[in-house]
Structures are given as C-alpha cells and as structure tokens.
Structure 1
Amino acid sequence: QLELALKREFGETRNVLADENMCMRVSKQLLVWSQEHTYWIASRFLILGFELDLYSPSEYCMVYWYMHVVFIKLIEKMQLRILASNENSRRKGKKKKDHSKDSVRDTPFPSSCLLLQCYVLLSEGLSMLLAALRKESKSFQSPSIFNTEQERFMQHFDLLQKAQIPECITYYSFKEAAAQAHMDVMKYNFFKEIQKIIPSLKGSFASEPEKLAELRQIEQVAEHNRIALNIINHV
C-alpha cells in the first residue's frame, strides 16, 4: 500500500532516487502520508466510541474536545500532503515557461478538507457548549464514586495518549480549554458556520450518495444545536 501511494504521489521515481534531495522529499512525503492516516484512524476510533455507547453524557465534553484536536491535526496533515503533491507536479512541469511560481500556494484545497472543517467546527462547538453549560449551570456533571474525571480521561484515550496522538495533549490541556469556555464565547456560532459550508459541499459530492447522507447528518446536528444555542442565549 505504501508503494502504491508513493507511485500515485510521485509517479515512477526509480531513475532519480539516487538524488539525495529526491530521497529527502520522498521521506517527508511518506511521513506526512503515514501521519494523515494515523489521525484518520484516531478520528474513527473516537467516533466508534459513540456508536458503541462507550461514553456517558458527563464525558461528552472531553470526547468532543479530543475529537476537535484530532480533526485539526488531520486537516493539517492532509493539506501538507496536497501541497507536497502539487509541488511535485510543479517540478514535473518546471520546463513550461507559463507555469506560475505561486501555483502551489494558490491551489484551492479539495472538498474533503472542507468536509473535515465541518467536523472541526462541530466538535469544537459541542465541546465549548457543554463546557460552558457545565460551568454556568452544573449540567452534564455526574461525579463517579469509582473514578475521577482524569481517570476516565485516561480510560478513554489511553491508547492515543501512549501513541502521543496528538503530541503534548494531556488531561490538563482539556481542563485548561474547558476553563476558558463560557456563553460569551459561543457568540461565534460554530453551528451556523457549518450551515454556510454545507451547500457548496452538496454540489461537490452530488454523485456520492454516502457523502450526501453524511452531509445531511452533519447539517441536522448543526441545525438542532444552533436552535438550542439560540434558546439558551435568550433564557
């Protein structure tokens, strides 16, 4: 699979791999490719926890927060891969006189990045909303007599923490982020921003029924939470 991925990204390179610079570029691309797929697996791992009912309502805040961090990293790695791929294409077409030097920088990112941005906004909006509710109304707080919140954090994310996915993310990172959440911050309506993105994505994925179904689910969750946030702000 790695070999096939490299061929897709670079084409046939056996005649130029002797060049140290080319070897370095291939190594960097392989690293970015593996990091992107690692974060994709991490995101699926966290989503699977919801599908299997592994999280209690009092833990949703920390889970959405962790998902938000993972999705951001996933977008970063995806964009790095796309930029590097465009750079490789630029090198192949370097002899063309009309080739723009800024083509890599100005190349728009695909709809897959925009779809991930919806997940970033959704997970961030939900984590901020739940953290604010926990602070201001003590909602979604159900202390366990068996373990602390920090212990539950480690129970859910132990595998990711051991693999340092993402790096430098700990329970205290979550507590610091949650402490800064309040309803005034929610004036930036994450859910409304998602609804602005969805229409363009529907056009991009018009021929992909599974993606359209995914977009409808995201749109529905965003709409329900946008309404809930508006109600909370007027209470």
Structure 2
Amino acid sequence: MLFCALWLNFKKAQPDLVARVHLQLLLVQDGKLYGRYPILAVIIRAARLTEVIMRHDILKNEYFVQLGQIVINMLKILCTNAAWQRRKLGKILQDWRAIYSQLELAFRKESGEGSSISNGENASAGILKHILIWVEEQTYWIAHRFLILGLQRKRHLKMTVGDGSAKQKGKKRKDSPKDLAREARIPPAISFLQCQICLAEGLALLLAALRNELIVLQSPSPFNSEHERFLQHFELLQKACIPDLISYPSFKESTSYARISSVVMYNYFKDAQKIAKEVKSSFLNDPDRSAELRILEQVAEHNSVALNVISRVGALDPSLKVSFEFIHHPYFATVVVKRS
C-alpha cells in the first residue's frame, strides 16, 4: 500500500524535525509527487490500473480531485512526529470515509444497480471498483496507524490484579477465528490481521473477566466513566464507521458477562497461536513480517499458558498476582502470573 510503504521507509531513517520539513517539500511539489508524478497517476498505479486510464473522463469528477488532495494531505501528515500524526490521523479518517461514500455512490450509478441493464460493468464502473478497493485499504491502514500511535503512548502502562473465583460463563461466539483462517480464499495478509485480532480479543476478554470477578478492578474513576474513556479512544473511528456498527453498548454487552471459565473455553490465544503457525510460511520473503509473526506466536503461547494457570490455581490461591507487561511485543501485552 502507498502509505504503508512510505512510512516503513521513513521510519527506518528516524529523521529529525528539519529533515521532516525537507521531506514534505520533496514529496509534494506543485501538487505532484516529487514534483514529477501527478497525484492521480500515483493513485491509478497504486490501485493496479494502467496509465491509459488517465485519459478517461471519469477522472475529471470532483470526487477524484478531492481524493488527490486528501492523498497530498496524508503524505504531509506522515512526515510529522508521532504526536502530531495521532492528532491529525483521527480527523482525516472522516475525510477518507466521506470520499469512499462518494465513490461508492458513483460506482452503483455507473454499474446500473437497481436498473434492468445487465451487460456487465462498463469502463467507468471498473475504474471505480479498483479505486474503491484501494481507498478502503488506505482507510484501514490509517485507522491501524491511529490505534498503534495511541498504544505507543500507553505501552508502559501496567495493570496488576489479584485472582478470584470463576462462576459464570460468557456468551458463546458465533464463529471460530481459527476456522475462518483455514478458508483457502483468505489472503495471508488477512490471516496476519486475524492473528492480531485474536490476541486483542483474548486480552480484552481476560481483562473484562478479571474486572467482573474481582472487586479491586471495579473502582470507578473520579474523572471519567468507562463510556467517556471509550469515546475518548474510539469516537473518531466511530465517526468514520471503522468498523461498521461498533458502539459502546455493543462493547459493553460483549464484556459484561465475561468470566475466566468462558475465556478458557473459547481461548483466543490458542487461535492466535495456531493462525501464526499456519501463516508463517507465506511470509518467508518478508523478514519484518516473519519476525512479527514469531513474536505474536510467542505472546499467544505464553498468554494461553498463563490463562490456564489462572483458571486452575486462581480460585484457590488468593496470593496469585496477574500483571500485563510489554516484555515481548510493544502493543500486545504478555500475561505474567506470580505468587506474592
């Protein structure tokens, strides 16, 4: 992806403020990338379309002009420091979502949705289809970057809790991520993301289960309610509908009934570990992604063992201490179980 490739190369250099300013000037000159390539041509190439498309009349539409400007703004944001990026990315997400909606409406119109015409998609519809896919990819990458920057700010946070008894089971999930990962049609990149999702879900449910079963975690903040904290973290993503239909009530419903016994029964950590093992062979030519998968697998395995220890010993041993530490991965915590 365009922004992902740019950011990875930029991150390795770790430039200072002056270098960032110079990079902004070099990247975009007179509305062109490096002062040579029209932004629309860059978008067309990134969306895997041929440059012949540049002569098509559909590119004269206002939403393509707006898309080009948003890409320019995005390139400039990526040249700033982490704090400024975090501030700006959440806002520009809404612009990307708005452009996506405009392109989607145009695609439906061009493809004759709802009409009696069924002669296949025309050239305009084909162009819009490719651009829609590309815009969606960029939007989700921006959302991912926005969340990662937030996690970086909180990576040193630790939460230590004592263990209690497990009594009530939570809701059974509808689909098993490990089963979904086996689908032959799912690309390795999606399986990689699914592995991360499983780890995040496992940690979220474990925290919820500990909170539900232990009074020590239920002390309310004098400044912010849980709902307010949810909005502080995710309101900008909600406005951009990433993901669709997410809300605080749905989050509350999914965590209110979590218990240690149910977290063990539907062990997301095992799912993450299995997916990481299965998808590793797909990234043999990508050292960075391979290294990331090894770490994710390590965290998942460690957390799965820790979860079983909590379930087996915790209810009978009030001296058991559970902490969440970033000793292997900067964003996915490792569950550490000790006896005081």
Q: Tell me the equivalent position of 1:145.
A: 222
CA gap 1:178/1:9 in 2 versus in 1, 3 angstroms:
farther
Trace 1:1-235 onto structure 2 (pairs within 5 A).
1-6=42-47, 8-9=48-49, 12=52, 21-22=121-122, 23-53=124-154, 108-138=185-215, 140-186=217-263, 187-235=265-313
Write the letter of the residue equivalent to 1:181: A
Q: How many pairs are equivalent?
A: 188
Retained in 1: the 8 A contact 2:269–2:301? yes
Q: Secondary structure at the match of 2:260?
A: coil
Measured in 2, the distance between the counterparts of 1:161 and 1:55 equals 26
Measured in 1, the distance between the counterparts of 2:156 and 2:228 equals 13
Retained in 1: the 8 A contact 2:44–2:50? no
Measured in 2, the distance between the counterparts of 1:12 and 1:201 equals 37
Q: Secondary structure at the match of 1:3?
A: helix
Q: Secondary structure at the match of 2:207?
A: helix
CA gap 1:29/1:197 in 2 versus in 1, 3 angstroms:
same
The TM-score, its normalising length taken from structure 2, stands at 0.49
Q: Secondary structure at the match of 1:143?
A: coil
CA gap 1:138/1:10 in 2 versus in 1, 3 angstroms:
farther
Measured in 2, the distance between the counterparts of 1:196 and 1:209 equals 20
- Identity within the alignment, %: 46
Write the letter of the residue equivalent to 2:281: G
Choose 1 or 2 for highest CA Rg. Answer: 2
Retained in 2: the 8 A contact 1:133–1:139? no
CA gap 1:13/1:125 in 2 versus in 1, 3 angstroms:
same
CA drift at 1:135 = 0.8
Greater relative CO (CA pairs within 8 A, separation 6+): 1
Write the letter of the residue equivalent to 2:251: F
Retained in 2: the 8 A contact 1:202–1:212? yes
CA gap 1:139/1:130 in 2 versus in 1, 3 angstroms:
farther
Q: CA RMSD in A?
A: 3.0
Give 5+ residue unaligned stretches, structure 2: 1-41, 59-109, 112-120, 160-176, 178-182, 314-340
Measured in 1, the distance between the counterparts of 2:216 and 2:130 equals 45
Q: Secondary structure at the match of 1:40?
A: helix
Measured in 2, the distance between the counterparts of 1:141 and 1:10 equals 57
Retained in 1: the 8 A contact 2:261–2:311? no
Retained in 2: the 8 A contact 1:198–1:215? yes
Write the letter of the residue equivalent to 2:209: A
The TM-score, its normalising length taken from structure 1, stands at 0.68
CA gap 1:188/1:54 in 2 versus in 1, 3 angstroms:
closer
Measured in 1, the distance between the counterparts of 2:290 and 2:145 equals 19
Give 5+ residue unaligned stretches, structure 1: 59-71, 73-105
Q: Secondary structure at the match of 1:184?
A: helix
CA gap 1:139/1:213 in 2 versus in 1, 3 angstroms:
farther
